[in-house]
């Protein structure tokens, strides 16, 4: 008998376990599943120790009960646990939570029960019916012109824009609701529906509305190519909107892929430009290194000539070589020998001109950074 109190509280683990075992056992027997004889006996032994069950309700996807809390002994909980484990395997793939939801919804009174025991199904059917009525109603409006469906929505203004956008959104909504109903159908028939994921279906519906509108704007039709048949253009645009609503995830993947391709093109152009700059820098660096090595080789050759023809002492030679090495290590090579005179036997005018300009800004930029 129902309790007069209307104070609901979160259902206890004992009550939830008992209700799930009860509804699974009923489902198994109604559908002709083989149930072990001892399971019914064990479950009946616990029924006498459980008070009368009152009503249930769902609040924020959580079960609430107005049955006074009760406690069972450890042995009784062990029996319920064993019965629960066996029944879960028997009724699989049905979920005990889904079976309990169906029982709860079937006990409600109302004309909407003819549309199923799942509230989500009833809501989606209502949305689909509203979208269908909106399509029919808006199609009869003189502001929704057939000869304007090959144009973008941004070519309209005022009430005409609202009605044409509503017409395409209604078509997208019909496709999105059809997609959501088709997806949830298998979960309902297999008793595996989980109300926790109800929000995901509405997210998919909203994505379908957006995708249908985007796709109808991206895909444009040429009236002349359609043979002047405006009805063909209209039906094509509405069909695109319906398809966009049904395949919202597909439209997202297409747009995401398009962005990825464009990003790859930009990266490739940037990479090609950087590669060209790097190749130019490498060529300039190698040219600079070659020139500096040639200058260094000429300087070493002159030192060798002076050793042979001028009887350079070991101290002078060490000083010359140390200065040459120091300048090379410091990456700022400059000849350390004295500037020759024109009447010197080793005077070379070409070399003299190059050496006298080593202090100029042009030569200062030629560092031995890569030697």
**pLDDT one-digit tens code per residue, 176-207:** 999 999 999 889 888 898 888 888 999 999 99
Examine the domain organization and report whether 102 and 136 are in the same domain.
Answer: no
pLDDT tens-digit readout, 31-85: 888 888 888 888 888 887 887 776 777 766 677 777 777 788 888 888 888 899 9
The C-alpha atoms of residue 226 and residue 263 are separated, in whole angstroms, by 34
Query: Which of 108, 138, 169 marks a domain boundary?
Result: 108
Structural domain boundaries, residue 189: 117-246
Q: Is residue 326 part of a domain?
A: yes
The pLDDT, as a whole number, for residue 59 is 67
Examine the domain organization and report whether 226 and 271 are in the same domain.
Answer: no
Extended strands (E) in 40-167: 56-59, 62-65
Q: Is residue 4 part of a domain?
A: no
Confidence of residue 130 (pLDDT cuts 50, 70, 90): very high
The C-alpha atoms of residue 326 and residue 348 are separated, in whole angstroms, by 25
In this predicted structure, which of 49-53, 87-91, 102-106, 190-194 has the lowest mean pLDDT?
A: 49-53
The pLDDT, as a whole number, for residue 335 is 45
In whole numbers, what is the pLDDT of the chain averaged over residues? 75
Number of domains in the chain: 3
Q: Is the dihedral of CA 108, 110, 111, 112 positive or negative?
A: negative
Q: What is the mean pLDDT of residues 152-166?
A: 79
Q: What is the mean pLDDT of residues 144-161?
A: 68
- CA angle at residue 166 from 225 to 116, to 5 degrees? 115
Query: Which of 246, 277, 312 marks a domain boundary?
Result: 246
Q: Is residue 251 part of a domain?
A: no
Q: Is residue 370 part of a domain?
A: no
Q: Is residue 3 part of a domain?
A: no
Q: Is residue 324 part of a domain?
A: yes
Examine the domain organization and report whether 167 and 139 are in the same domain.
Answer: yes
Examine the domain organization and report whether 121 and 166 are in the same domain.
Answer: yes
Q: Is residue 55 part of a domain?
A: yes
Going edge to edge, which strands form the sheet with 9-10? 9-10, 62-65, 56-59
- CA angle at residue 190 from 189 to 191, to 5 degrees? 95
In this predicted structure, the answer to whether residue 340 has a pLDDT above a threshold of 80 is no
Residues 329-347 as b or e (16 or more Cβ within 10 Å = b): eeeebebebeebeeeeeee
Q: Is residue 2 part of a domain?
A: no
- Per the model's pLDDT, the better-predicted residue between 207 and 2 turns out to be 207
Query: Which of 246, 267, 294 marks a domain boundary?
Result: 246
Confidence of residue 220 (pLDDT cuts 50, 70, 90): low
- Per the model's pLDDT, the better-predicted residue between 12 and 180 turns out to be 180
Confidence of residue 241 (pLDDT cuts 50, 70, 90): confident
């Amino acid at each position: 008998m129902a309790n007069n109190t209307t104070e609901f509280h979160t259902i206890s683990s004992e009550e939830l376990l008992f209700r799930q075992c009860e509804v699974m056992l009923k489902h198994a027997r109604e559908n002709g599943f083989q149930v072990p004889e001892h399971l019914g006996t064990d479950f009946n032994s616990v029924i006498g120790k459980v008070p009368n069950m009152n009503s249930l309700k769902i609040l924020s996807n959580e079960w609430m009960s107005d049955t006074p809390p009760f406690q069972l002994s450890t042995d009784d909980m062990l029996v319920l646990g064993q019965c629960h484990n066996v029944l879960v395997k028997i009724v699989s793939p049905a979920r005990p939570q889904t079976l309990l939801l169906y029982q709860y919804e079937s006990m409600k009174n109302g004309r909407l029960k003819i549309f199923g025991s799942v509230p989500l199904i009833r809501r989606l059917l209502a949305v689909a019916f509203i979208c269908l009525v909106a399509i029919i109603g808006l199609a009869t409006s003189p502001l929704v012109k057939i000869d304007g469906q090959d144009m973008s929505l941004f070519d309209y203004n005022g009430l005409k824009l609202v009605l044409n956008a509503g017409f395409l959104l209604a078509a997208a909504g019909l496709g999105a609701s059809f997609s959501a109903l088709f997806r949830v159908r298998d979960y309902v028939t297999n008793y595996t529906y989980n109300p926790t994921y109800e929000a995901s279906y509405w997210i998919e519906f909203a994505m379908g509305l957006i995708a249908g509108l985007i796709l109808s704007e991206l895909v444009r039709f040429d009236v002349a190519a359609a043979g002047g048949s405006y009805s063909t253009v209209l039906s094509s645009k509405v069909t695109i909107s319906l398809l966009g609503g049904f395949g919202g995830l597909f439209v997202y993947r297409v747009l995401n892929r398009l962005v990825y391709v464009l990003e790859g093109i930009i990266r490739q152009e940037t990479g090609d430009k950087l590669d060209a700059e790097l190749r130019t820098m490498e060529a300039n660096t190698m040219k600079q290194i070659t020139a500096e090595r040639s200058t260094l080789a000429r300087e070493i050759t002159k030192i060798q000539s002076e050793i042979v023809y001028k009887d350079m002492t070991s101290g002078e030679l060490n000083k010359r070589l140390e200065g040459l090495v120091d300048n090379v290590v410091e990456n700022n090579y400059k000849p350390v020998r004295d500037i020759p005179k024109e009447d010197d036997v080793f005077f070379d005018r070409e070399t003299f001109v190059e050496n006298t300009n080593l202090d100029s800004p042009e030569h200062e930029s030629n560092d031995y950074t890569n030697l």
